[in-house]
Amino acid sequence: MRYSQLLLPTTKETPAEAEVVSHQLLLRGGFIRKLTSGVYTYLPLGFMAIQKVTEIVREEMNRAGAQEILMPMVQPGDLWQESGRWKKYGPELLRFQDRHSRDYCLGPTHEEVITDIARKELHSYRQLPVNLYQIQTKFRDEIRPRFGLMRGREFIMKDAYSFDADDAASELSYERMREAYYKIFERCGLDFRAVEADSGSIGGSFSHEFMVLAKTGEDTLVTCTACSYAANVEKAAIAPPEACCADIDTLPAMETVDTPGMKKVERVADFLGVSSCDVVKTMLYIADDQVVAALVRGDREVQSVKLKNILGVADVEPLPEEDVWKRVQLPVGYLGPVKMDLTIVADQEVMAMATCITGANVKGTHVKNVVPGRDFTPAHVGDIRQITEEDSCPVCRGTLQLTEGIEVGHIFKLGTGYSEAMEATYQDSEGNEKHFVMGCYGIGVSRVVAAAIEQNHDENGIIFPMPIAPFQVVILNLGLKDDAICEAAEKLYLELQAKGYDVLYDDRDERPGSKFKDADLIGIPLRVTIGKTYAKSGDVEIRHRQTGETVTMAYAETVAYLEKNIDQALV
């Protein structure tokens, strides 16, 4: 591609709206443009990177025996009623009606549509196993679309669905996908980990997430330094603490204490001469529409996905402080479970405390000597707190490490949840009707591009891994007025292109400085400079974007050198 003819609107300024580096560089590099909140156009370079990822995904899915299809993005509400998710899915599902007042939604995922296909088209065990996938635009009305391609409302996903005769066969399908995912993310040049994960609103019994390690990741993963345990903190189980052995009858009675202006756990603890772990924190959440109270020890944090799972609701969000009085007439900073008229969920650790300090539900007041189980009774008790590096590995008791990650892929064992709800069956070898055992497997194709940039950049711009770079080589012509230079640059460009490489030829009438800057910004792995040196000695300069290594060589050697370096980097 000739740069002079390419829509590649790079900019120097960092856009104010972009908080993370991938978003900044994708905008500055002319890869994407925002249409509206969480919805982007992929300009040529952006779309090329997306297509590189798409091709890798497609090759590995096909190699793993999956078949590509394309399902509609618009889905009838009836199917979602059948699966039970019309009510359960929550506001991320964008619902609308057609002119006949029939319900529809934009597909955030396709379990319903694919199960409908399976029940109509797959009848016999002889047709199984089947794995169908698509690469397609999804819509989720995310509550906080942000970070550009990382969390869009409209984004590109690869979603695959497996149908098997029984659990054992379904496990094989799952394993095949797990292996394919390792290959895909390795081939994309990413540093990633597979972790045990929560199944979320998709449902199912077991799942793994593939996480790209990056500081800006919205997910936190916990890994054991001694064994292979790795999990999303949303899932990471904490062993129950030892039960409290104090004799309830010997414990002192509750006592109210004045704590004026002390809304924070640390201040209350300091004031009362105790430590934060002697205080119980009461946090309010909106669970679907109901306000609930979650209790954790003062030095702990609530893990909202665990809370959501224990409550069995679709959505849990913190109740904003400014809404607390309006919703429940209780004073922020002084909340406590004693005589509280809300559904209370207590962390298992709270119930193991002999006594604790809590808010008194009266401004400026706390209560001492509160005995969990004696002075309040939670509706639910369980593991609802965030795991920490002080906890030990649930598998081997080893030391844990927390790391930030970006979820680029997610695989689920679904079981028969959807096939039972939607009556999707096949006939086994004895003629019995059986429900399909399903699995589903997603990859955030557009998010992969953003994640790759989060992991591979420097102060000058993107450093694309070769396999997903929009172009593999950029040729800078620094002598537009010199016929020999132009001829050499043109010839190299055409030769590489004829060999099937993706080459950007910077033939613009621009200062060398801006050509170098743009080449760095858009992250092309190999840069060939043809300029004064060539005019003098016939040499060209090749620079590797990732290492900064620069080599000068005779023009005649360039093609072979580039070929070798590109081919090596494509696994």
- CA 124 to each of CA 68, 69, 165, 232, 242: distance values in angstroms, whole numbers, following the listed order: 21, 21, 9, 38, 52
Q: DSSP string covering 472-511, please?
A: SEEEEE--TT-HHHHHHHHHHHHHHHHTT--EEEE--S--
Question: Judged by CB, which is closer to ligand ATP: 60, or 407?
Answer: 407
CB of 198 to ligand ATP, least distance (A): 8
CB atoms within 10 A of CB 453: 29
CB of 351 to ligand ATP, least distance (A): 30
CB of 447 to ligand ATP, least distance (A): 4
Residue 408, interface with ligand ATP (CB under 6 A)? yes
Question: Which residue is nearest to ligand ATP, using beta carbons?
Answer: 444
Q: Position 117: which residue type?
A: I
Question: Judged by CB, which is closer to ligand ATP: 79, or 160?
Answer: 160
Q: Which of 89, 139, 155, 464 binds ligand ATP (CB under 6 A)?
A: 155
Question: Judged by CB, which is closer to ligand ATP: 447, or 457?
Answer: 447
Task: Give the interface segment with ligand ATP, choosing from 354-362, 442-450, 454-462, 531-539 (CB under 6 A).
Answer: 442-450
Q: Which of 407, 506, 518, 520 binds ligand ATP (CB under 6 A)?
A: 407
Backbone angles phi, psi at 356, to 5 degrees: -150, 170
- Please report, as residue ranges, which positions from 102 to 121 form the binding site for ligand ATP (by CB under 6 A): 109
CB of 210 to ligand ATP, least distance (A): 7
Residue 447, interface with ligand ATP (CB under 6 A)? yes
Residue 28, interface with ligand ATP (CB under 6 A)? no
Q: Which of 23, 151, 187, 435 binds ligand ATP (CB under 6 A)?
A: 151
Question: Judged by CB, which is closer to ligand ATP: 189, or 359?
Answer: 189
CB of 409 to ligand ATP, least distance (A): 5
DSSP letter (8 states) at residue 354? S
CB of 150 to ligand ATP, least distance (A): 6
Q: DSSP string covering 511-537, please?
A: -HHHHHHHHHHHT-SEEEEESHHHHHH
Residue 545, interface with ligand ATP (CB under 6 A)? no
Residue 142, interface with ligand ATP (CB under 6 A)? yes
Residue 152, interface with ligand ATP (CB under 6 A)? yes
Question: Judged by CB, which is closer to ligand ATP: 29, or 108?
Answer: 108
Contact by Cβ (8 Å): 375, 338 = yes
CB of 161 to ligand ATP, least distance (A): 12
Task: Give the interface segment with ligand ATP, choosing from 149-157, 341-349, 458-466, 557-565 (CB under 6 A).
Answer: 149-157
Residue 454, interface with ligand ATP (CB under 6 A)? no
Question: Judged by CB, which is closer to ligand ATP: 44, or 200?
Answer: 200
Task: Give the interface segment with ligand ATP, choosing from 270-278, 444-452, 529-537, 549-557 (CB under 6 A).
Answer: 444-452
Strands (DSSP E) contained in 338-472 are: 343-347, 356-359, 365-370, 380-382, 400-415, 425-427, 433-435, 437-444, 457-458, 461-462
CB of 209 to ligand ATP, least distance (A): 7
The three-class DSSP label of residue 19 is coil
CB atoms within 10 A of CB 421: 17
Residue 140, interface with ligand ATP (CB under 6 A)? yes
Exposed, middle or buried: residue 96 (CB in 10 Å: 0-12, 13-18, 19+)?
A: exposed
Task: Give the interface segment with ligand ATP, choosing from 295-303, 341-349, 363-371, 404-412 (CB under 6 A).
Answer: 404-412
CB of 219 to ligand ATP, least distance (A): 7
Question: Judged by CB, which is closer to ligand ATP: 150, or 485?
Answer: 150
Peptide linkage before 465 cis (omega within 30 of 0): no
Residue 333, interface with ligand ATP (CB under 6 A)? no
Residue 413, interface with ligand ATP (CB under 6 A)? no
Residue 306, interface with ligand ATP (CB under 6 A)? no
- CA 331 to each of CA 126, 269, 282, 379, 552: distance values in angstroms, whole numbers, following the listed order: 64, 19, 12, 22, 71
CB atoms within 10 A of CB 317: 12
Give the CA dihedral 95, 97, 102, 104, nearest 10 degrees.
-30
Residue 444, interface with ligand ATP (CB under 6 A)? yes
Q: For residues 160 and 111, what is the distance between their CA atoms, to the nearest angstrom?
A: 9
Q: For residues 552 and 542, what is the distance between their CA atoms, to the nearest angstrom?
A: 6
Side-chain-facing half-sphere of 138: CA atoms under 13 Å: 25
Backbone angles phi, psi at 568, to 5 degrees: -60, -35
Q: By CB under 6 A, how many residues form the interface with ligand ATP?
A: 17
- Please report, as residue ranges, which positions from 156 to 215 form the binding site for ligand ATP (by CB under 6 A): 157, 200, 202
**Strand 365-370 versus strand 356-359 pairing type:** antiparallel
Task: Give the interface segment with ligand ATP, choosing from 68-76, 148-156, 185-193, 302-310 (CB under 6 A).
Answer: 148-156
Residue 315, interface with ligand ATP (CB under 6 A)? no
Q: Which of 176, 300, 410, 413 binds ligand ATP (CB under 6 A)?
A: 410
- CA 401 to each of CA 228, 342, 404: distance values in angstroms, whole numbers, following the listed order: 12, 35, 10
- Give the rounded distance of the alpha carbon of 243 from its chain centre: 37
CB of 106 to ligand ATP, least distance (A): 13
Q: For residues 282 and 289, what is the distance between their CA atoms, to the nearest angstrom?
A: 19
The residues of the shown chain that bind ligand ATP, judged by CB under 6 A, are 109, 140, 142, 151-152, 155, 157, 200, 202, 407-410, 442, 444, 446-447
